[in-house]
Chain A
Amino acid sequence: MADISKINGVPIANIEKLDAVLAANIAKVNGLTFAPAVPSPVAAYSVRLLGSAVGISSYTGAAMRVRRETAGGAGDDDEADIAFDSGVISLDSAISNASAGVTATTLGQFLNVGTVNGTTYTNPDSLTVTASCFVDEWKDQSGNANHLEQTVQSSQFTLHDGTTNSDLILKNGKPALLPTSNAVGFQAVSVDLSNSDVSEFLVAECNNNFAVATKYGTNNILVAHNNYTTGIDGVFQLASYTNASYYLDGQQESVTQTRGTTRDQFYLNQRLASLCNFQPTSSGISIENIADFFRVYVYQELVIYDSDQSSNRTGIESNVNTYFSIY
C-alpha cells in the first residue's frame, strides 16, 4: 500500500471498498501485500484525536468534560464538554453542553485564562479569577462509550492550574492530565476483558510519589509502571501474564516484578509503555489509586485492545511516538 498513492486518479484514502470488499480486508493486490489494518480498540483515551493508525476510523465527539473552579466566585464548578482543536485539546477548543449561564465558546474563555501565546481570551462569563480546570470525564474515542469518569471533585485530574496568562498543563509540549493528590484517578468502567488477549499502549510519566497504574478487573489484574521509592518497578501483575510482552519506548523489557532499570526510565520522563497479549481474569478498566504503592501521575494517552496487537505494535508505537516525540 505504501507504494501506491492513487488508483486511476483516486487517492487511496478515499477508497473504502473494491467490488464490495472492505479495503481493510484486502490483504493482497497483484502480489503486493498490505499490512493488516489495526482493529478498533475497546477503549481509547487521549489528549489528541486518534485515528486509523490506532484503529479508530472516525471519532467526532468531545475530548473531555471538564469542571472549572473559581474559589467560590462566579461560574464556580460549572462544567462543559471540550472539543478537539486541530486534532488536540487546546485553549481554542470549542466548548459545548455547558452548565446553565455559561456563554464562553472556547476553553480559554471558559477559564478566563487571559493572554496565552499571543491570543487574548475574553471573559464572557465575567469570572473574577482565572479558573482551575479539572477533568471529570475522559471520553472514549473507540465508539464503545467506555468513558472514564471521576464524580468526586477532590479526585479529579488537573488540566489547567489556574495561573493567569498560562497554557494548559503540558508535558513535552502536549497537553497532559496531572494529579494533585494521591487519591486522583478515574472510576472503573465496566468492560469485560476476561478471556481476552489484551493489549495496552500508554503514554505517561511517574514522579517520586506517583506511579502509573492501569487496573484491569476488581482486584487481581494490574499493570503498573511504578516508581514508588520502596515499591515495585516495571510491570507488576497479580495474575497470569505467561504470554505477555512489555515494551518501554519500543524496547522490550522483562515482564516481572523487578526493581531495576524500568523505574529509572519512567522516573520524571514521559514514556510509551506497550503491553501485548495480556490475559485479565476479571472485568473492568480503571486508572486509579490502588493502595499506597500505586498512584497515578501524568497521563496523556491510553489505548486498550481486546485482542493481541503484537503484530501491529511497532506501527502503533510509531504513530504514538511521532505525535508525542517521546524517544
Chain B
Amino acid sequence: MATVYLPVEPIEGMDSAERAEALDAEVWRLRRPLSLQSPQDITKYYYPRITHPTTGQVAIVGDTTEEVRISPEVDLTDMLALLPEVPQEEKDGLVMFIDANRGGSVPFGQLIPSTSTQLTQEEAEALGWLPDPIEP
C-alpha cells in the first residue's frame, strides 16, 4: 500500500470540495459505471477525502498500488470533463489505456494525471493536511 494525498484545485464552476467529490465519484464509476448503478445504491465513491484544516482545500486519499477494476461498460466522458488542465494528448493516452483494460484492472497510480499534486503521508503532514493527534 502506498498512500497518496491528492489535493484538488478548484476549476471554473466547482470549488475544491465539489471537484474532489466529482472526481472521486468518477473513480468509483470506473468500476461501477452509472449504467450499472441503481438509484438505491449507497456506495458512490472510491476513496476517502480529507479537508485541510486551515485552507479548506480537499484532497483525495488514494493508494497508488491499489488495482482499480475497470468495468467493460466504463464511460470516461464525465471524468475527462473534470480534467480541463490535463493536456489533450495525455487525455487521449488515458482513454486508450482504460480501453485496453476494460474488464481488467489498473494500478490507481497510473490513473493520476501529471498535472496533479501528489503528496506522501510525510509531505501531507508537513503541509498541515492531517490534524494533530488528539492527546490527553
Partners in one complex: yes
Task: Tell me which residues across on chain B come within 8 A of A231, comparing CB atoms.
Answer: 133, 135
Task: Bits for B104-136, please: 1 = Cβ < 8 Å to A, else 0.
Answer: 010000000000000000000000001111111
Q: Is A110 an interface residue (CB 8 A)?
A: no
Interface segment, one of A35-43, A71-79, A165-173? A71-79
Report yes or no: A151 in contact with B135, Cβ–Cβ below 8 A: no
Q: Is B46 an interface residue (CB 8 A)?
A: yes
The one of A77, A154, A155, A292 that contacts B32, using a Cβ cutoff of 8 Å: A77
Bound together, the chains give a CA A128 to CA B84 distance in angstroms of: 40
Report yes or no: A154 in contact with B47, Cβ–Cβ below 8 A: yes
Task: Bits for B30-56, please: 1 = Cβ < 8 Å to A, else 0.
Answer: 011000101011111111100000000
The one of A99, A222, A238, A292 that contacts B41, using a Cβ cutoff of 8 Å: A99
Report yes or no: A291 in contact with B133, Cβ–Cβ below 8 A: yes
Report yes or no: A291 in contact with B31, Cβ–Cβ below 8 A: no
Chain A facing B: main interface SS: loop
Which B residue sits closest to A152, measured CB to CB? Answer: B45
Chain B facing A: main interface SS: loop
Bound together, the chains give a CA A43 to CA B126 distance in angstroms of: 39
Given contacts A76-B69, A291-B133, A293-B135, contact A152 B41 (CB under 8 A): no
Which B residue sits closest to A234, measured CB to CB? Answer: B136
Task: Tell me which residues across on chain A come within 8 A of B5, comparing CB atoms.
Answer: none
Q: Is A214 an interface residue (CB 8 A)?
A: no
Q: Is A249 an interface residue (CB 8 A)?
A: no
Given contacts A72-B69, A72-B105, A155-B48, contact A294 B134 (CB under 8 A): yes
Bound together, the chains give a CA A72 to CA B24 distance in angstroms of: 19
Bound together, the chains give a CA A292 to CA B32 distance in angstroms of: 31
Bound together, the chains give a CA A3 to CA B116 distance in angstroms of: 71
Task: Tell me which residues across on chain B come within 8 A of A100, comparing CB atoms.
Answer: 38
Q: Is A252 an interface residue (CB 8 A)?
A: no
Task: Tell me which residues across on chain B come within 8 A of A291, comparing CB atoms.
Answer: 130-134
Task: Bits for A150-179, please: 1 = Cβ < 8 Å to B, else 0.
Answer: 111111100000000000000000000000
Which A residue sits closest to B38, measured CB to CB? Answer: A99
Which A residue sits closest to B27, measured CB to CB? Answer: A153
Q: Is A149 an interface residue (CB 8 A)?
A: yes
Report yes or no: A149 in contact with B69, Cβ–Cβ below 8 A: no
Interface centre among B42, B43, B45, B136 (most CB of A within 10 A): B43
Bound together, the chains give a CA A111 to CA B67 distance in angstroms of: 22
Interface centre among B41, B46, B105 (most CB of A within 10 A): B41
Given contacts A77-B32, A291-B130, contact A151 B69 (CB under 8 A): no
Using a CB–CB distance below 8 Å, which chain A residues touch chain B?
65, 67, 71-72, 76-77, 79, 97, 99-100, 136-137, 149-156, 183, 222, 231-232, 236, 238, 257, 290-294
Nearest 3 A-B pairs (CB), nearest first?
Answer: A257-B136, A136-B42, A152-B45
30 A-B residue pairs with CB within 8 Å: A65-B40, A67-B42, A67-B43, A72-B103, A76-B31, A76-B32, A77-B31, A77-B43, A79-B38, A79-B40, A79-B41, A99-B36, A137-B42, A150-B42, A150-B43, A151-B43, A151-B44, A151-B45, A152-B24, A152-B46, A152-B47, A153-B43, A154-B46, A154-B47, A154-B48, A183-B61, A231-B133, A232-B135, A291-B133, A293-B135
